Amino acid sequence: MKKILFIEDEFALQKTLGDVLHQEGYEMISALDGETGLRLAKSAKPDVILLDLILPRVHGFTVLKQLKEDEETKAIPVIVLTNLEEMGDINRAIELGATTYLVKAQYSLEEVLEKVKKVLSLPK
């Protein structure tokens, strides 16, 4: 069973997207802040990480940077899932090593699910 780490401080999104991914047969691990997210990324070794950017404790950009700098976690694909849609933020996330950047307001739940499946099917 593939594991997905969902780093998102909004409980409502953890619940909706988490439930759908769980239904699809993925093992869900959730973190409600950046610090917990970083710790779980190392200990649980997920197959993909869904990362919000505006997070308590450690900002999403810092989480992304540290994930990509760490030998243990740098190969894990990261899907940024946020409501920030400035070109500057998008470019920064891609430069830091994000695989995909999704603006929450522009995607339906099913579309996000498709993106996650697509990233998981990419060769490592």
Which residues in the 12-71 window bind other proteins by CB under 8 A? 12-13, 16-17, 19-20, 23
> Which of 2, 3, 104, 117 touches other proteins (CB under 8 A)?
104
Helix (H) or strand (E) holding 18: helix 11-23
Helix (H) or strand (E) holding 119: helix 109-121
Which residues in the 70-89 window bind other proteins by CB under 8 A? 83, 86-87
- Given the complex with other proteins, which of 23 and 121 has the nearer CB atom? 23
Asked if residues 107 and 78 have their Cβ atoms less than 8 Å apart, the reply is: no
Q: CB of residue 49 vs other proteins: minimum separation in angstroms?
A: 19
- Given the complex with other proteins, which of 21 and 63 has the nearer CB atom? 21
Q: Where are the alpha helices (DSSP H) in 4-124?
A: 11-23, 34-44, 60-69, 87-96, 109-121
Question: Which of the 8 DSSP states describes residue 10?
Answer: -
Size of the site for other proteins (CB under 8 A): 16
Asked if residues 49 and 41 have their Cβ atoms less than 8 Å apart, the reply is: yes
Q: CB of residue 96 vs other proteins: minimum separation in angstroms?
A: 20
Q: Characterize the bridge pairing of strands 78-82 and 100-103.
A: parallel
Binding site for other proteins (CB under 8 A): 10, 12-13, 16-17, 19-20, 23, 83, 86-87, 104-105, 108-110
